[in-house]
């Protein structure tokens, strides 16, 4: 299949969305926990998490245009606080169900059976079932004029991860936490490590660790 810009434009709307949503390949599966100022919780699955920088430790999420109700985005704006929790193979069904459009007064925790975990210093709930949990503070929000989406940048202010999942260089091995990957909006993949590589340098042959 070879598509030009006008072929892509000419695709049936749902087919175009399915293709373009999946064409970046594997994306991380995360649950974003928030609460409004009354402490009412909310949970949403998101696959748009990207690394912005390590020092300070910054991550960004892309939010859909806020012409519909966006409880997660509203709560983050209201409190400046949110959590990011890895989805693992044992909670995929519940995690996916958080994408349903529940009314604002229904918590996706209660609706899906996932458990709220509150920690001092974070006015947003973590997901107790998740093995990797990050407490986030909002640092910046950039409206992207090109399509009305929002880039939300936050700093990791707390991090919980099983020590056994950290390798000798200090990196997380997401296969050890059974973290899953997403393609498009409906396909979940298990992870397994293929190989590790030494730092690449010109004139040095690729070397496996």
Ligand X SMILES: Cc1cc2nc3c(=O)[nH]c(=O)nc-3n(C[C@H](O)[C@H](O)[C@H](O)COP(=O)(O)O)c2cc1C
Return the residue of 28, 31, 35, 46 that touches ligand X, per CB under 6 A: 46
Q: Are 83 and 122 in contact (CB under 8 A)?
A: yes
201 binds ligand X per the rule CB under 6 A = no
Sketch the per residue contact string, 71 through 100, with ligand X: x for CB under 6 A, - otherwise.
xx-----------------------x--x-
Return the residue of 35, 44, 114, 117 that touches ligand X, per CB under 6 A: 44
The per-residue DSSP string of 147-206 comes to: TTEEEEEEEEEEEE--GGGB-TTS-B-TTTTTB-EEETTTEEE-------BPPP-TTS--
Only one of the segments 63-71, 82-90, 122-130, 137-145 lies at the binding site for ligand X (rule: CB under 6 A); that segment is: 63-71
Residue 147 to residues 17, 62, 144, 150, Cα–Cα distance (Å):
14, 11, 6, 9
Only one of the segments 5-13, 57-65, 110-118, 153-161 lies at the binding site for ligand X (rule: CB under 6 A); that segment is: 57-65
Return the residue of 185, 193, 197, 209 that touches ligand X, per CB under 6 A: 185
Q: Are 116 and 41 in contact (CB under 8 A)?
A: yes
158 binds ligand X per the rule CB under 6 A = no
62 binds ligand X per the rule CB under 6 A = yes
Q: CB neighbours (10 Å) of residue 167?
A: 13
Q: How far is the CB of 44 from ligand X (least distance, A)?
A: 4
């Amino acid at each position: 299949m070879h598509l030009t810009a006008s072929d892509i434009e000419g695709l049936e709307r749902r087919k175009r969305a399915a293709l373009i949503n999946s064409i970046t390949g594997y994306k991380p599966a995360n649950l974003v926990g928030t609460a409004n100022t009354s402490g009412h919780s909310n949970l949403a699955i998101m696959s748009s998490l990207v690394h912005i920088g390590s020092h300070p430790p910054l991550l960004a999420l892309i939010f859909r245009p806020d012409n519909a109700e966006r409880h997660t985005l509203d709560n983050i704006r209201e409190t400046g606080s949110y959590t990011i929790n890895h989805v693992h193979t044992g909670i995929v069904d519940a995690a996916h169900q958080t994408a349903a459009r529940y009314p604002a007064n229904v918590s996706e925790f209660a609706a899906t059976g996932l458990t709220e975990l509150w920690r001092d210093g974070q006015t947003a709930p973590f997901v107790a079932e998740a093995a990797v949990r990050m407490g986030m503070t909002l640092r910046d929000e950039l409206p992207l004029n090109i399509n009305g989406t929002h880039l939300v940048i936050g700093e990791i202010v707390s991090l919980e991860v099983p020590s056994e999942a950290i390798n000798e260089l200090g990196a997380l091995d997401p296969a050890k936490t059974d973290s899953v990957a997403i393609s498009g909006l409906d396909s979940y993949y298990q992870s397994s490590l293929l190989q590790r590589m030494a730092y690449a340098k010109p004139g040095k042959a690729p070397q496996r660790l």
